[in-house]
Structure 1
Amino acid sequence: MERKDFLRGLGLVGLGSLAIPMINSCSKDNEDSSSGSGTDSSTDSGSGGSSGSCTVTPSETAGPFPTKVPASLVSSNIVSDRTGVAFTMKIYIKNTNASCAALAGALVDVWHCDKDGYYSEYGGTSMQQADFTSVHFLRGRQTTDTNGLVLFTSIFPGWYQGRATHIHVHIYNASGKSLLVTQIAFPEGTGSAVALVNASTANGYTKGLNGYTYNATDNVFSDSVSEEMSTITGSVADGYVLTHTINVAG
Structure 2
Amino acid sequence: MQRRDDDHHHADEGAHEHDRGLSYDLPVLARRRMIRLMAGVGLVPLVGCSAEGEDTPAAASSGTPASSSGTADSAECAVIPEETAGPYPGDGSNGVNVLKESGVVRSDITKSFGNSAGGTADGVPLRVTLTVVDSDSGCSTPKKGAAVYLWQADRAGDYSLYTEGVTDENYLRGVQETDEKGQVTFTSIFPGCYPGRWPHIHFEVYGSLADATAATAITNTSQLAFPKDVCDTVYATEGYDRSIPNLARLTLESDMVFRDGYEQQMAAVQGSPAKGYTATLTVAV
Residue 136 of structure 2 corresponds to which residue in structure 1?
Answer: 97
Residue 56 of structure 1 corresponds to which residue in structure 2?
Answer: 79
Residue 112 of structure 1 corresponds to which residue in structure 2?
Answer: 152
Residue identity opposite 1:179 in structure 2: T
Contact 1:110/1:141 (CA < 8 Å) preserved in 2?
yes
Counterparts of 1:166 and 1:39 in 2: how far apart (Å)?
23
Counterparts of 1:131 and 1:60 in 2: how far apart (Å)?
27
Give the CA deviation at 1:207: 2.4
Q: Secondary structure at the match of 1:193?
A: helix
Contact 2:152/2:173 (CA < 8 Å) preserved in 1?
yes
Give the CA deviation at 1:209: 2.0
Q: Deviations over 1:162-206 (max 9, x none)?
A: 001000000000252311000001111xxx2211110012xx112
Task: Map 1:61-76 onto structure 2 (within 5 A).
Answer: 61-67=84-90, 68-72=97-101, 73-76=104-107
Contact 2:150/2:201 (CA < 8 Å) preserved in 1?
yes
Task: Map 1:1-250 onto structure 2 (within 5 A).
Answer: 11-12=5-6, 22-23=11-12, 30=19, 38-41=57-60, 44-47=62-65, 53-67=76-90, 68-72=97-101, 73-80=104-111, 81-100=120-139, 101-123=141-163, 130-174=164-208, 176=211, 177-188=217-228, 192-201=229-238, 204-212=239-247, 213-248=250-285
Counterparts of 1:193 and 1:144 in 2: how far apart (Å)?
27
Q: Secondary structure at the match of 1:211?
A: helix
Pick closer, same or farther for the CA change 1:96–1:27 going to 2, 3 Å: farther
Q: Secondary structure at the match of 1:226?
A: coil
Once the two structures are overlaid, the 10-residue window that deviates more, 51-60 or 217-226, is 51-60
Question: Identity rate of aligned residues, in percent?
Answer: 32
Counterparts of 1:47 and 1:219 in 2: how far apart (Å)?
24
TM value normalised by structure 2:
0.69
Counterparts of 2:99 and 2:8 in 1: how far apart (Å)?
23
TM value normalised by structure 1:
0.78
Contact 1:25/1:117 (CA < 8 Å) preserved in 2?
no
Higher RCO (CA < 8 A, seq sep 6+): 1
Structure 2, unmatched stretches of 5+, are 21-56, 91-96, 112-119, 212-216
For these two proteins, the number of residue pairs brought into alignment is 218
Contact 1:11/1:30 (CA < 8 Å) preserved in 2?
yes
Residue identity opposite 1:227 in structure 2: Q
Give the CA deviation at 1:110: 0.3
Larger radius of gyration: 2
Counterparts of 2:171 and 2:16 in 1: how far apart (Å)?
16
Q: Deviations over 1:37-66 (max 9, x none)?
A: x54446x23145988622211000100000
Counterparts of 2:189 and 2:197 in 1: how far apart (Å)?
18
Give the CA deviation at 1:225: 0.8
Structure 1, unmatched stretches of 5+, are 1-7, 16-20, 32-37, 124-129
Give the CA deviation at 1:30: 1.8
Give the CA deviation at 1:98: 3.0
Residue identity opposite 2:268 in structure 1: T
